[in-house]
Structure 1
Amino acid sequence: MDSKRIAPLGVTIVDDKVQIRVWAPKARNVICRTYQPDVDILLTPQVHGYWYAESTRIAAEQQYHFIVDGEAFPDPASRSQPEGVHEPSAVVDLRFDWTDQNYQCPSLRDFIIYELHIGTFSPTHDFNGVVERLPYLKNLGITAIEIMPVAQFPGERNWGYDGTFLFAVQHSYGGARGLQRLVDACHREEIAVILDVVYNHFGPEGNYLEKYGPYLTEKYHTPWGKAVNYDDSWNHGIRDFVCENARMWFEDFHIDALRLDAVHAIKDFSPSHILQDIRRTTDVLMRETGRTHYLIAECDLNDKRFLEPLGQNGFAMDAQWLDEFHHALRVAAGEEKKGYFKEFNGVADLAKAYEQAYVFTGQYSTHRQKFFGSSAEGIPGDKFVAFSQNHDQVGNRMLGERSSILFTPDLQRLMAMAVMVSPFIPLLFMGEEWASKKPFLYFVSHSDPDLIAAVRKGRSEEFTDFHGDGEVPDPQDVKTFDDSVLDWDEKDKPLHQRMLHYYQDLITLRKSHTVLRNLKREDLRVSCDPQKGILILHFEHAGETLIGMLNFSSSAQHFAIPEDKTWEKVLDTADNRWGAVCPTVLTDGVVHIPAQTGIIMQGADLDENSTQSS
């Protein structure tokens, strides 16, 4: 990417004039045609396939098309699509009266992430619905929300990964101004904002990119057809496009971090990978503004190069999602070993995930049918995001079942403890904290009948390895979306309220306890007994000791505890407060832990005048 910016992409308001810039390297002429009033603004060709103009004859809220060699198309860098993906773009004035001048983004190690989907998080299905519930999230202990993609997609119902206008905020959610208000409100509550972005493919409906130039290439085969053109001829156009998009979210929306979707699906063999260019763009902006921004990757390659610094030719991502921790944890809790769960071995692999982050570190993977993975040695724990469920792991089940449907309350509390005491950044999925029973299903609202049929067919074929009989909910049916909307009245019912109080206490412990707050992978020793289904976590930091005992088995277990310290409970998943009927008992140097429960205990050194008590 050219480090010297000519002007932002698309139609942007700068001071008292509008700058217009579009990449169309093979076009003979390009016009920006505005409506009401109708004006044609002729763009001038520039180097490397760009077209440019400045004008005072176009204003905020005005709609327009680009006319490329006589054909009218929406702006590929549109900031607004008020009438949908096939209709004219609209000018947006992104200047905003921010109140977050004194806000400081916390370090990643202090993130407690809450992933949410704007459309299903609240009954209003928009940014305002999130703003209204920020006090709730603050009280829960959340320090960062992660928003599933909001780039404009077809219709009003979508997970967001079918976005076709990367610069336009979904109009039905509240558009650009709604997102800015949400971020500003989050920062007032000292809550960071992570935005999920998709740079590995573009949605199929409303995708006019190829009308402008070679944004895509047939050089690689992908599940979505042509690959994004990061390393073929004319690749500088899409590379500029993506880096400018990342910069826009940080600069114009004050987003604190981007979660980069499925970076393993990006095909790029350039000397400088597109992720490295995004990293450099982010670093330049941080130097300019003094603000901190993070890049968090979703990646299933177990390749630490994604986390290594640019100086080592790494991609320098600040963190990555840790799917293998999830897989091992779920199998330990009793998840049926189907699909990619087949090759995970419960507590043994969970113990390895605690210690080494990656489970597959070079051994043979039967699921992938190859030797897979690398060591994450030397990579700090706060470069990994751990979870017991997320939008993928819930929504990619045929019936969208959450853990609250699949596991007992005891196991839900145990899995939450396993995540929250890990040496990684913890993430919750919306509604998890009160054990919501509402499913999170896959939904779309396309207008192309052939595309709708293809989505239905693909969705049905996806579950042949995971499910037997049963009908896949129709992604296009509005009922599928409605069934996925959180029921906020549910959390006030006694059973759900107890789970919510448990999560609050668990998060408070993570944030306040010296050992857990400063937890590093090197502070942790792990042992396990696969036959008994038990895992023991031994934490040492700054002279303090914690022991975590996690019993995933269906029977009670007994542990002898070190006699050189006195011990007290810090948190017990089997406490009566959470509705459990058989709390953990400490007697005569032995801990008796009920089935499917866990306990955190703190040790204090015995002095010469004390004696150990049971």
Structure 2
Amino acid sequence: MNDAAHIEGMGAILHPGGVAFRVWAPHARNVSVIGSFNGWDGTKHPMQSEDNGYWYADAAQAKAGDEYKFLLFTEQGELKRIDPYAREVTGSTGNAIVHDPQFDWSGDDFQLAPWNELVIYELHVGTFNDEEDVKRAGEFASVSARLGHLKKLGVNAIQVMPVGEFAGERSWGYNPAHIFSVELNYGGPRALKRFVKRAHEEGIAVLLDVVYNHLGPDDLDLWQFDGWRENERGGIYFYNDERAITPWGETRPDYGRGEVRQFLLDNALMWLEEFHVDGLRFDCTQFIRTVNGSDEEELPEGWALLQWINSRITELFAGRITIAEDLRNNIWLTKPVGAGGAGFGSQWDAMFVHPIRQAVIAPWDEQRSLAEIRDAICYRYNDDAFDRVIYSESHDEVANGKARVPQEIAPDDPKGWQARKRSTLAAAMVFTAPGIPMLFQGQEFLEGEWFRDSVPLDWDQCVEFHGIVRLYRDLARLRLNRDGFTRGLCGQFTEVYHQHEDSKVIAFHRWDQGGASDQVVVVANFHSEPLDGYVIGFPAEGAWKLRFNSDWQGYSDDFAGHPSGDVVAVPEPYDGLPCQAALSIGSYSVLIFSQ
């Protein structure tokens, strides 16, 4: 029965009189907490039965840093289990640790930038480093050492691939064994808190990738946690029928069970509250809202879970962002919960990345479809330009049979002219099209091959290709309107008004409120030949200043430096706009103009 004196919470709850413990094990006959504080003796701290299969004990002798487990007496015999809510573990198959959540957050009043002013940089902690000993994974501290680079680049949000404790020493992170515990090889929970605070001091938000479509499947103490199971499946935390099946193992959580739903909600809220992260990116939501990843067999309780988590985040953490990775062109993901949507703030956009990658990777100019590029630029969910995150590289797009964009362009010469020109053409589309732009680690200095969790970034290339780094920095600066004359790139409105399939030139107009210092014209040449005296329309007459030319030799010595420059638009209608001007543009180049 419930006791009014019992302390609320799950797992190990540190308090002035010791440590309280609570665990959910509805099929256990009896439960004890064992640990370093009681000699691992199952008779010292038997747990009291509470309602709905919960068990509780309070240990005055326990303290922060003590190791512990739960000893479950079941029909299958005695089972020793790591606490599902463990905030810290000795390893994925080790013991839980009583964690002290206290941390000095003084001065951390960071606020996430408006979503139309975000530039995201996705990274993997284990490989975002320059450690000499490549046998050892990178840590949060090694990421912190590069925050100056990211700040100078123009990044104001880091999206960190999953950091929950996983099996083995290296992983992408999408095989979480303990979702409440931070991977020890990365430095553990305190190191993550120090990293978040340090990033905030540099004006950089931290977004965290979370995995709720499956758990493990390796080193998973949750499997048949209290001995009960059906069909030889996973027991109380998982579906025990065909709904358990995912591409990553038969470990889909049971979204219809209240205790499991609470477990996942508590995890999402923990990152926002205890670690001060500024948002969450949900991995593969199509395998939460559907059984097999397609819309043919929906999983209604999974959809309801997403709505519940997003509603609670909106209620408790206004201004934080949640991002869905669904890649199924589902407009309902970013509709408000009140309108029947899942309530995400934004979602990764397959409608952008695939056609843009194809446009620059295609070996022949005639294979580049401007119609597909136009559709990629203009696509939006729910008539909101920033309901989507756009990119040309992500951890998925540069692995699993695919490689970095320069590598795909020129497998035999991924640092050469073609690779540099066409990969930066894609990058310019990321920064100028409507949406939240995102880079993947090392993209700014032409990191090659494909992503592996055992190969750190080659930071020597940051020096070798410093001009390309500057190109990315200049694009980010324009995208964020740092100089006050490209506000249009932060605006909702876009019109592709020039599209010439033969010359492979596309031009589009971006604006927010309209008028001087707001309207931006972007011209992109997807052809190997430069053009001179090329006439396009402009939305207003007068001088249009050239703010960016990707063919500038300052970006690379062997870029042509084609003589592009400012233009003067005269009041003669063209391309459906009131004015026109003639310009010059280099091969595989992008020009950005504003008034």
TM-score (norm 1): 0.80
Report the counterpart of residue 56 of structure 1 in structure 2.
60
CA contact (8 A) 1:9 1:241 kept: no
The 2-side partners of 1:203 and 1:347 are apart by 43
**Structure 2 counterpart of 1:505, which letter?**
D
**Structure 1 equivalent of residue 95 of structure 2:** 88
Q: 2:582 and 2:319 mapped to 1: Cα distance?
A: 47
Alignment partners' CA distance in 2, 1:565 and 1:60: 69
Residue 468 of structure 2 aligns with which residue? 499
3-state secondary structure, aligned to 1:222: coil
Write the deviation string for residues 44-83 of structure 1: whole angstroms up to 9, x where unpaired.
222222222333222111111111222112112222222x
Length-normalised TM-score, structure 2: 0.83
Q: Aligned AA for 2:515?
A: G
Match for residue 432 of structure 1? 443
* Secondary structure class of the residue paired with 1:194: strand
Listed as ranges, the matches of 1:309-458 within 5 Å are: 309-335=336-362, 346-357=369-380, 376-378=381-383, 380-397=384-401, 400-403=403-406, 406=409, 408-437=419-448, 439-443=449-453
Distance 1:6 1:532 in 2: 71
Q: How far did 1:134 drift?
A: 1.2
The whole-number CA distance in structure 1 between the counterparts of 2:386 and 2:179 is: 29
Query: Residue 203 and residue 566 in structure 1: after superposition, are their counterparts in 2 closer, same or farther (change >3 A)?
Result: same
Do the aligned partners of residues 15 and 114 (structure 1) sit closer, same or farther apart at CA in structure 2, a change above 3 Å counting? farther
Match of 1:571 in 2: 548
| Structure 1 residues 535 and 171: alpha-carbon distance in aligned structure 2, compared to 1, 3 A threshold | same
Aligned equivalent of 2:295 = none
User: For 1:87 and 1:15, how far apart are their aligned partners in 2?
Assistant: 27
Q: Once the 2 structures are TM-superposed, how far is the Cα of residue 231 of structure 1 from its aligned partner? A: 4.3
Residue 549 of structure 1 is matched in structure 2 by 523
1:325 deviates by: 0.4
Shift of residue 428, structure 1, vs aligned partner: 0.8
Q: Deviations over 1:452-494 (max 9, x none)?
A: xxxxxxxxxxxxxxxxxxxxxxxxxxxxx1xx2012222112x
1:164 to 177, 182, 205: 177
- Please state whether the residue corresponding to 1:600 is helix, strand or coil: strand
Match of 1:238 in 2: 260
| Counterpart selection for 2:248 from 204, 224, 230 | 224
Counterpart of 1:75, as a letter, is D
User: 2:27 aligns to what?
Assistant: 26
Structure 1 contact 329–347 (Cα < 8 Å) conserved: no
- The answer to whether residue 573 in structure 2 is matched with residue 596 in structure 1 is no
Match of 2:576 in 1: none
Change (3 A) 1:49 1:526: farther
Instruction: Please tell me the residue identity of whatever aligns with 1:602.
Output: S
Contact 1:183 1:193 in 2 (8 A): yes
Structure 1 residue 250 displacement after superposition: 0.7
Evaluate the alpha carbon distance shift between residue 154 and residue 37 of structure 1 in structure 2; reply closer, same or farther with a 3 A threshold.
same
Letter in 2 for 1:560: V
Question: Does the 8 Å CA contact 1:355/1:521 hold for their aligned counterparts?
Answer: no
Q: Give the structure 1 partner of residue 146 of structure 2.
A: 133
| Cα drift, residue 313 of structure 1 | 1.4
Pick from 511, 515, 519: which aligns with 2:480?
Answer: 511
**Higher deviation after alignment, 407-416 or 196-205:** 407-416
CA distance change for structure 1 residues 349 and 137 in 2, over 3 Å: closer, same or farther?
same
d(CA) in 2 for partners of 1:136, 1:279: 32
How far apart in 1 are the matches of 2:139 and 2:259?
32
Map of 1:446 onto structure 2: none
In structure 1, C-alpha distance between the alignment counterparts of 2:555 and 2:130, rounded to whole Å: 28
Partner of 1:457: none
Matched, 1:532 2:481: no
Cα distance, 1:516 vs structure 2: 4.1
* Partners of 1:574 and 1:582 within 8 A in 2: yes
Measure the CA separation in 1 of the matches of 2:16 and 2:205. 29
* Deviation larger for 317-326 or 212-221: 212-221
Read off the aligned partner of 2:304 and give its amino acid letter: H
Q: Which amino acid aligns with 2:104?
A: D
**2:115 is matched by which residue type in structure 1?**
L
Structure 1 equivalent of residue 300 of structure 2:
269
- Post-superposition CA distance 1:3-60 (Å, at most 9, x none): xx98332213245542322221222112111125425422222222222233322211
Q: Give the 3-state SS of the residue equivalent to 2:322 in structure 1.
A: strand
Residue 382 and residue 401 in structure 1: after superposition, are their counterparts in 2 closer, same or farther (change >3 A)?
closer
Question: Which aligned pairs between 1:51-200 and structure 2 lie closer than 5 A?
Answer: 51-69=55-73, 70-82=78-90, 84-124=91-131, 125-200=138-213
Deviation at 1:377, TM superposition (A): 4.0
> Deviation per CA, 1:342-369, whole angstroms, max 9, x where unpaired?
xx97431221122123xxxxxxxxxxxx
User: RMSD between aligned alpha carbons?
Assistant: 2.4
The CA distance in 2 between the partners of 1:45 and 1:201, in whole Å, is: 29
- Give the match's secondary structure for 1:502: helix
Question: Once the two structures are superposed, what CA deviation does each residue of 1:512-555 show, in whole Å capped at 9, x if it has no partner?
Answer: 24544663343444542344333211123431332111111222
Q: Give the letter aligned to residue 275 of structure 1.
A: L
- Counterpart of 1:214 (choices 207, 231, 236) is 236
Alpha-carbon offset, residue 273 of structure 1: 1.0
Name the CA distance, whole Å, in 2 between partners of 1:180 and 1:60.
17
1:518/1:553 CA distance change after superposition, 3 Å: closer
Mean Cα displacement is larger for which, 262-271 or 516-525?
A: 516-525
Give the distance between the partners of 1:540 and 1:105, measured in 2 at CA: 23
CA distance in 2, matches of 1:381, 1:19: 48
Q: For residue 587 of structure 2, give the secondary structure of its aligned residue in structure 1.
A: coil
Offset, 1:402 = 4.7
Q: Match of 1:146, SS?
A: strand
The 1:303–1:562 alpha-carbon spacing in structure 2 relative to 1, beyond 3 Å, is closer
For 2:99 and 2:49, how far apart are their aligned partners in 1? Answer: 24
Displacement after TM superposition at 1:132 (Å): 1.3
Structure 2: where are the runs of 5+ without partners?
A: 1-5, 132-137, 226-234, 291-298, 411-418, 569-580
Matched letter for residue 498 of structure 1: G
| CA drift at 1:304 | 1.1
Question: Which is helix-richer, 1 or 2?
Answer: 1
After superposition, the Cα gap between the structure-2 partners of 1:442 and 1:578, relative to the gap in structure 1 and judged at 3 Å, is closer
1:275-290 matches, within 5 Å, as: 275-286=306-317
- Mapped contact 1:296–1:321 kept (Cα < 8 A): yes
1:581 alignment counterpart: 560
Change in Cα spacing, 1:198 to 1:561, as seen in structure 2 (3 Å) is same
